RNA sequence: GGAUGUUUAGCUCAGUUGGGAGAGCAUCGCCUUUACACGGCGGAGGUCAUAGGUUCAAGCCCUGUAACAUCCACCA
């Protein structure tokens, strides 16, 4: 299909993805090539993909397409995540809206609902991957709850248990009373909430003493208080240590003990201690062998220990309890203040620290291994940008044990069995054969437990499969900085522990996409940008280009419709350059390789653009190799606009129009340059690239089979640069002259030109682009004309410009040159510059100096002659 | 309290080994010249937050300061 005048991205995109997929171009497995492997961060089956996924997938796909074009056997493995708590929250909500809940329908029916949910959303996710154009190998797609992943998860659990790295313990954990499950520390989001600080009177037992005043933000936990703690150095309370006070909530007696944990300056300096509902209190409780009564249920209601408040919700209890204490005359005051309150990441409920029995991973030895590994040069994980390694290290050097059990149903069931008759525990990947005598642990594992194994479980581990042997460890991982400790850190320690290798060599970290005002996109603000809307409006090529090039690595970006539009215009520009070239090249011309062209047929401007091209290929390749897509795209953008379109394509019209011996060289140069540009824009915007590619006179079945351009030394002609730059400067100077003198751009002028090289081969270009009436090459200055002095040449324009104006213009030019000359001169007269700067720089400066000097003399002479 | 990032044109942002400041949008003037008006040509607009330091040379390296942002840890 020929290229139509109008760029219609819908038509451009249509059918291409399906073709690539059907022809197997996404498949890895060519073992004759060097491998490059990557896995997609498994998409949560909770809902549609948002723009955060788009940037993730775009960077991954650019990397993969680039590597494939560079000749690698690329594996880009897709998959989805069951996303335990997140999905369960959605399914719970769905059941609620239907007037039922999971407990009513039971575990089996609930899981069925979950699978149905997963199926429908993984379908949507597939559609979105296709829309984004990512080259994932569908033949290797995985799901965190598929058979292989279950096998891996069970093995890891059992092994860690046997090594003593997984244990079951009774500890304070953060409980989500809505989802009714324990959470790990990093699933808590601290938010500033309006809070109340209640000051209560604790009256003394037996002795006559002013009551103690103790403040709390959570009065309901007073039912679980076991003592009052003061600092032993606190003079105010020196005399009351060992005495007893009355708990105003329930009238129980509380001993006063001393521990230097208490901050003298905070509050009243006296603290109530609730070992079962506060992690710090728990530590104190343990230290002094105190009781730890649990006064709150996991659903946020009060236990029977709370007397008449039993069964009541914690917030309701708080309200009524405060009222009761006030009535008893034990309320001193209430202060309002802002404080940080932990919320559940998923349900947004205020989390409650509750003592309960959970499964944990002992982090210290695993984390130490990560730190050790990062310290060694050999197998360390390289972060791009580097600074993010610090986030990993920081987290690894002070992380608590990881609570991995969740009181949910959707997920990997913990492979632990309790005997019905004895106290035996069986930790095993396989169900016991006499299952009737056992009860399996009710809980499931934290979603991140399986995600942590993603780089190797997807390749067949724990089996020594061909894929595992060939593609592990991965070459690269792409993800956002917000997920480094949720995911990256855990993959690294599990990888090191179970495969003895870091799971990937490089990690590319990107920022998040914010809204146009710089705010984080969120459901509550309703400011999210749906990538599908953007694609429908501007096309996926433009969206990808925008996402990959707008911010520098690791930096957040603002979504900007103007920039997506600008990307669209850019792609249209490339497309039209192709249209122009294909229009002008004879149908039977098929030379696209450097070896195909007779170098003698290349004109100076052909040589110039080829030399520029080879230079830009070199620089872009270097940027691509270090995942610097912003820099790479910027280099290409400048080349496309300034060198390729604005200059070369315009110049080529001269040789294309007339019969001349350079015509063939121009055909070659046009096609060669176009193809190189295409290949360099292709990883960013594959659809439009494919469309243009398939219109080239010589092409393979798809651009996906084509190679990235390589630097071809036989097409580098350094001597062309200076001469053609002079031509360029001359054209620009004449254009400028016309604008400055209010002449129409196509005003025909008589121009003479004096150059210090043979300008003849270039004169036809200058004639055309200056709309010259005549262009005469001269050896001497032309008197009585306007003169423009440029490096390497001087222009004389016959025009009715008066002497005064010319004089003013030349004086201005002279001043400018003079200041440059001075700058250059001072540098060159600086001994230390001459002795310390690299020779290259010194030579360059000397050259500049000579050039300025020549120009200076030329202008000065002209002024004198006037 | 600890850590990181940002501060460059009116706005949003690039600027990688330190060697004459760039883009998009906006703005002003000119042009429908047969690739592109989703365009072309030309222009205006920046003591690169601030104070020092290193260097022949600093937007870039080092130190301090300020403002903003983010993450971690947080006192009942």
pLDDT at A580 (0 to 100): 96
What pLDDT is attached to residue A112? 94
Residues with Cβ within 8 Å of A54's Cβ and at least 6 positions away in sequence, in order, are A132, A513, A531, A543, A544, A547
Q: What is the pLDDT of residue A800?
A: 66
Ordered strands of the A786-790 beta sheet: A774-777, A750-755, A793-798, A786-790
The per-residue pLDDT for A443 is 94
In this prediction, residue A160 carries a pLDDT of: 96
Q: Give the pLDDT score at A801.
A: 63
The predicted pLDDT at position A115 comes to 94
Strand-pairing partners, residue A257, are A229
Start-to-end CA distance of chain A, whole Å, equals 62
List beta partners, residue A333. Answer: A199
> Given strand A402-403, what is the order of strands in its sheet?
A181-183, A166-176, A352-361, A402-403
Separation CA A139–CA A126 (nearest Å):
13
Q: Is the pLDDT of residue A412 over 80?
A: yes
Judged against a pLDDT cut of 90, whether residue A684 lies above it is answered with yes
Does residue A628 approach strand B to less than 7 Å at its CB?
yes
The sign of the dihedral angle between the CA atoms of A485, A488, A479, A143 is: negative
Q: Give CA angle at A67 (A76, A689), nearest 5°.
A: 95
- The whole-number average pLDDT for the span A836-857 is 88
Residue percentage of chain A with pLDDT more than 90: 58
A741 strand B contact, CB < 7 Å: no
Q: What is the pLDDT of residues A206-248, one digit of tens each?
A: 888 888 889 898 899 999 899 999 888 888 888 888 888 899 8
Q: Does the pLDDT value for residue A852 go beyond 90?
A: no
pLDDT higher than 80, residue A784? no
Structure tokens at A631: 């820099």
What is the spatial distance, in angstroms and rounded to an integer, between the CA atom of A42 and the C1' atom of B22?
Answer: 38
Report ipTM (2 d.p.): 0.96
* CA→C1' distance for A359 and B64 (Å): 49
pLDDT at A453: 96
pLDDT, one tens digit per residue, over A365-391 is 999 999 999 988 788 999 999 999 999
Before A385, cis peptide (omega within 30)? Answer: yes
Cα separation, A121 vs A117, in Å, equals 6
A601 touches strand B (CB under 7 A): no
Strand B proximal to A595 Cβ, under 7 A: no
pLDDT band at A35 (very low <50, low <70, confident <90, very high): very high
Which of the 480-539 residues on chain A come under 7 Å of nucleic strand B at their beta carbon?
482, 485, 518, 520
Lowest-confidence pick of A104-113, A130-139, A515-524? A515-524
* Å between CA of A605 and C1' of B66: 53
* List of A residues 656-715 with CB within 7 A of strand B: none
Tell which residue, A105, A165, A139, A128, has the closest CA to residue A48. A128
- Helix A540-549 crosses helix A561-584 at what angle (to 10 degrees)? 120
Nucleotide in closest CA–C1' contact with A565: B38
Asked if residue A218 keeps its beta carbon closer than 7 A to nucleic acid strand B, the reply is yes
What mean pLDDT comes out for the span A615-631?
94
Mean local confidence (pLDDT), A398-408? 90
- DSSP letter assigned to residue A410: S
Please, is A196 exposed, middle or buried when counting C-beta atoms within 10 Å of its C-beta (0-12, 13-18, 19+)? Answer: middle
pLDDT over threshold 80, residue A660: no
Residue A1 is predicted with a pLDDT of: 54
Which of the two residues, A48 and A411, has the higher pLDDT score? A411
**Cβ within 8 Å of residue A291, ≥6 positions away:** A226, A275, A285
Lowest mean pLDDT: which of A81-90, A156-165, A632-641?
A: A81-90
**pLDDT reported for residue A766:** 93
Q: What is the mean pLDDT of chain A?
A: 91
Which residue is the nearest neighbor of B34, CA to C1'?
Answer: A580
Average pLDDT over residues A751-771: 92
Q: Mean pLDDT over residues A648-664, rounded?
A: 87
What mean pLDDT is predicted for residues A694-701?
Answer: 95
Q: Within 7 A of a protein CB, which nucleotides of strand B?
A: 3-6, 12-16, 19-20, 23-25, 29-31, 33, 35-43, 55-57, 70-76
Secondary structure letter of residue A313 according to DSSP: B
pTM, to two decimals: 0.94
A124 touches strand B (CB under 7 A): no
pLDDT tens digit string along A428-442?
A: 999 999 999 999 999
Contact criterion met (CB below 8 Å) for A701 and A23 = yes
Nearest to A126 by CA among A49, A59, A25: A49
pLDDT of residue A659 exceeding 80, the answer is: no
The predicted structure's pLDDT at residue A3? 82
A7 CB closer than 7 A to any strand B atom:
yes
A824 touches strand B (CB under 7 A): yes
Helices (H) and strands (E) in chain A, counts: 27, 30
Residue A807 pLDDT level (bands cut at 50, 70, 90): confident
Mean pLDDT value across residues A503-529? 91
CA A153 to chain centre: 28
Q: What angle do CA A46, A48, A51 make, to 5 degrees?
A: 120
């Amino acid at each position: 299909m020929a290229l139509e005048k109008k760029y219609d991205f819908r038509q451009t995109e249509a059918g291409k993805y399906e073709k690539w997929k059907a022809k197997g171009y996404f498949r890895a497995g060519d073992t004759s090539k060097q491998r490059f492997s990557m896995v997609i961060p498994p998409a949560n089956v909770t809902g549609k993909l948002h723009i955060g996924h788009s940037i993730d997938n775009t960077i991954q796909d650019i990397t993969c397409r680039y590597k494939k074009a560079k000749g690698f056997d690329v594996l880009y493995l897709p998959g989805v995540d069951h996303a335990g708590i997140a999905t369960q929250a959605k399914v719970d909500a769905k059941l609620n809206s239907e007037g039922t809940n999971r407990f009513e329908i039971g575990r089996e029916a609930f899981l069925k609902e979950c699978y149905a949910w997963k199926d429908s959303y993984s379908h949507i996710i597939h559609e979105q991957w296709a829309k984004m154009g990512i080259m994932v190998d569908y033949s290797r797609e995985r799901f965190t709850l598929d058979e292989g992943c279950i096998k891996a998860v069970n093995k890891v659990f059992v092994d860690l248990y046997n090594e003593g790295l997984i244990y079951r313990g009774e500890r304070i954990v953060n409980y989500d009373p809505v989802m009714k499950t324990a959470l790990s520390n990093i699933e808590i989001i601290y938010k500033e909430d309006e809070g109340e600080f209640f000051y209560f009177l604790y009256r003394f037992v037996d002795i006559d003493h002013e009551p103690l005043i103790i403040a709390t933000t959570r009065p309901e936990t007073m039912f679980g208080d076991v003592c009052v703690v003061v600092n032993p150095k606190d003079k105010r309370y020196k005399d009351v240590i060992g005495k007893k006070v009355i708990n105003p909530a329930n009238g129980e007696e509380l001993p006063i003990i001393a521990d230097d944990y208490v901050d003298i300056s905070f509050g009243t300096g006296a603290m109530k201690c609730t070992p079962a509902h506060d992690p710090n209190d728990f530590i104190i409780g343990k230290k002094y062998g105190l009781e730890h009564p649990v006064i709150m249920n996991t659903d946020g209601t009060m236990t029977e220990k709370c007397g008449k408040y039993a069964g009541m919700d914690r917030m309701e209890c708080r309200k009524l309890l405060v009222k009761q204490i006030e009535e008893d005359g034990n309320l001193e005051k209430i202060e309002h203040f802002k404080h940080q309150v932990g919320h559940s990441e998923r349900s947004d409920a205020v989390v409650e620290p509750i003592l309960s029995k959970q499964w944990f991973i002992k982090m210290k030895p695993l984390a130490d291994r990560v730190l050790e590994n990062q310290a060694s040069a050999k197998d360390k994980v390289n972060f791009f940008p580097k600074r993010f390694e610090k986030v990993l290290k920081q987290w690894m050097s002070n992380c608590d044990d990881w609570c991995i059990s969740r009181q949910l149903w959707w997920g990997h069931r913990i492979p632990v069995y309790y005997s019905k008759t004895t106290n035996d525990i069986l930790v095993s990947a396989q169900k016991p054969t006499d299952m009737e005598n056992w009860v399996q642990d009710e809980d499931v594992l934290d979603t991140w437990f399986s995600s942590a194994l993603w780089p190797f479980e997807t390749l067949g581990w724990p089996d020594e499969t061909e894929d595992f042997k060939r593609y592990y460890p991965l070459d690269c991982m792409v993800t956002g900085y917000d997920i480094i400790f949720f995911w990256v850190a855990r993959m690294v320690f599990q990888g090191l522990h179970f495969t003895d290798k870091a799971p990937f060599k490089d990690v590319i970290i990107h920022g998040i996409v914010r809204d146009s005002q710089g705010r984080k996109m969120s459901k509550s603000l309703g400011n999210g940008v749906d990538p599908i809307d953007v694609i429908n409006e501007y096309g996926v090529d433009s969206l990808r280009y925008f996402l990959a090039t707008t911010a520098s690595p690791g930096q957040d970006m603002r979504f900007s419709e103007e920039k997506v539009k600008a990307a669209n215009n850019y792609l249209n520009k490339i497309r039209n350059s192709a249209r122009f070239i294909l229009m002008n090249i004879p149908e039977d011309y098929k030379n696209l390789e450097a070896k195909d062209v007779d170098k003698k047929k290349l004109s100076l401007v052909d040589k110039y653009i080829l030399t520029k091209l080879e230079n830009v290929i070199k620089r872009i390749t270097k940027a691509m190799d270090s995942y610097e897509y912003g820099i790479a795209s910027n280099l290409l953008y400048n080349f496309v606009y300034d060198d390729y379109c604005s200059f070369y394509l315009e110049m080529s019209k001269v040789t294309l129009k007339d019969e001349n011996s350079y015509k063939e060289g121009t055909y070659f140069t046009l096609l060669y340059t176009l193809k190189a540009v295409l290949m360099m824009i292709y990883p960013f915007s594959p659809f439009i690239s494919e469309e243009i590619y398939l219109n080239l006179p010589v092409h393979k079945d798809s651009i996906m089979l084509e190679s990235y351009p390589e630097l071809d030394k036989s097409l580098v002609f350094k001597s062309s640069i200076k001469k053609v730059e002079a031509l360029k400067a001359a054209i620009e100077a004449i254009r400028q002259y016309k604008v400055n003198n209010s002449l129409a751009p196509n005003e025909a002028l008589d121009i003479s030109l004096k150059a210090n090289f043979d300008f003849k081969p270039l004169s036809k270009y200058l004639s055309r682009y200056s709309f010259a009436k005549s262009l005469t090459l001269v050896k001497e200055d032309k008197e009585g004309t306007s003169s423009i002095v440029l490096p390497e040449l001087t222009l004389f324009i016959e025009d009715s410009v008066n002497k005064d104006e010319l004089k003013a213009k030349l004086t201005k030019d002279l001043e400018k040159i003079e200041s440059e000359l001075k700058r250059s001169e001072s540098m060159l007269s600086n001994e230390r510059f001459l002795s310390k700067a690299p020779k290259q720089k010194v030579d360059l400066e000397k050259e500049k100096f000579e050039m300025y000097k020549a120009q200076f003399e030329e202008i000065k002479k002209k002024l004198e002659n006037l």
